């Protein structure tokens, strides 16, 4: 029987790459995002990641269980404590990055089969102070904390809770707004492939609760646990 993966943020750059890769491996793919992903086996469109919408996702999925659940949702805005839009930018980052991680954790508690894996996406930049991007930094640092807490959650024992902390992903959006060098950016397919290994073979997974920095230098990607 095919295995199931749920990708929260499954219509974004990384999320779509994950959906596509798992699909080629014969997995059923469930995308949950503000926008539909028509490549996924099942696509659930939500208007926010608040409690009522996430509980609606559960009712749409019915008795479906998943073997892997990955949060690839998020976004980025900068802004320090003196920025004119300080409050808006912080709220936006909490809504995009933290709320999606919180929702994915909730769904993991309800849907993840024993032996499965839940992966949340943090950011290496949030492992140190982020004075110029307060909202982004606190939302990702809180996500790192959530990953560690999932690893200590009795209801998830027997499964793995992991974090990926990318530096720069090679996305269309980054190519539009940032200069290279592109050989220091991580190809989305590589990350998707690593997530597939962890999902498909528990022996390949880092220790439960690991935060794994994903960094590419001169086209070589490394995965280092911190
Ligand atoms: P993206 O902007 O291409 O896609 C993000 C997706 O998340 C979008 O489809 C969006 O609709 C969805 N989304 C946002 N908030 C949501 C919410 N609350 N509920 C449901 N869906 C929501 O992003 P990406 O570049 O693919 O990045 C993927 C992840 O990697 C994000 O968590 C991002 O913060 C993180 N990250 C990215 C980079 C990078 O260089 N792009 C670097 C470090 C970390």
pLDDT in tens, 76-129: 999 999 999 999 999 999 999 999 999 999 999 999 999 999 999 999 999 999
**Whether the model pTM is above 0.85:** yes
Q: Is residue 175 over pLDDT 90? A: yes
The predicted structure's pLDDT at residue 119: 99
User: How does pLDDT run across 28-67, given as a tens digit for each residue?
Assistant: 999 999 999 999 999 999 999 999 999 999 999 999 999 9
As a whole number of angstroms, the distance between CA 191 and CA 187 comes to 7
Task: Give distance in angstroms: CA of 73 to centre of ligand 1.
Answer: 4
**Ligand 1 atom closest to Cα of residue 95:** 18
Verify whether ligand 1 is closer than 6 Å to residue 18 (CB atom): no
The predicted structure's pLDDT at residue 13: 98
Q: Is residue 180 over pLDDT 90? A: no
Verify whether ligand 1 is closer than 6 Å to residue 99 (CB atom): yes
In the chain, domain spans: 4-225
For this structure, is 136 an active site residue? yes
Our mutation pick for probing the ligand 1 site, out of 21, 74, 136, counting the most ligand atoms within 8 A of Cβ, is 74
As a whole number of angstroms, the distance between CA 170 and CA 175 comes to 7
The predicted structure's pLDDT at residue 104: 98
Show the DSSP H helices in 70-225 as ranges: 86-93, 99-111, 134-151, 172-177, 188-200
If you take atom 1 of ligand 1, which residue's CA is the nearest one? 12
Do 100 and 46 meet the contact criterion of CB atoms below 8 Å apart?
no
Task: Give distance in angstroms: CA of 6 to centre of ligand 1.
Answer: 15
**86, 136, 177, 223: the active-site residue:** 136
**Please, which pLDDT band fits residue 1 given cuts at 50, 70 and 90?**
confident
Verify whether ligand 1 is closer than 6 Å to residue 96 (CB atom): yes
Q: Is 203 left (phi over 0), alpha (psi -120 to 50) or beta?
A: alpha
Task: Give distance in angstroms: CA of 97 to centre of ligand 1.
Answer: 8
Q: Is residue 183 over pLDDT 90? A: yes
The predicted structure's pLDDT at residue 26: 98
User: What CATH number belongs to 4-225?
Assistant: 3.40.50.720
**Please, which pLDDT band fits residue 16 given cuts at 50, 70 and 90?**
very high
């Amino acid at each position: 029987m095919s295995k199931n993966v749920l990708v929260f943020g499954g219509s974004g750059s990384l999320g779509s790459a994950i959906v596509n890769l798992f699909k080629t491996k014969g997995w059923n793919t469930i995308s949950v995002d503000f926008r539909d992903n028509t490549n996924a086996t099942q696509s659930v469109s939500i208007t926010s990641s608040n409690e009522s919408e996430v509980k609606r996702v559960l009712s749409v999925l019915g008795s479906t269980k998943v073997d892997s659940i990955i949060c690839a949702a998020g976004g980025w805005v900068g802004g320090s404590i003196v920025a004119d839009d300080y409050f808006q930018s912080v709220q936006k980052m909490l809504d995009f990055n933290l709320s999606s991680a919180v929702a994915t954790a909730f769904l993991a508690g309800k849907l993840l089969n024993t032996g499965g894996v839940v992966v949340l996406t943090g950011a290496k930049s949030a492992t140190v102070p982020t004075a110029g991007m307060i909202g982004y930094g606190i939302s990702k640092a809180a996500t790192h904390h959530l990953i560690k807490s999932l690893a200590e959650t009795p209801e998830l024992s027997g499964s793995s809770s992991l974090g990926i902390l990318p530096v720069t992903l090679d996305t269309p959006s980054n190519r539009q707004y940032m200069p290279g060098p592109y050989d220091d950016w991580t190809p989305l397919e590589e990350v998707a492939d690593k997530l597939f290994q962890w999902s498909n073979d528990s022996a390949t997974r880092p220790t439960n609760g690991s935060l794994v920095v994903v960094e590419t230098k001169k086209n070589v990607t490394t995965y280092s646990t911190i």
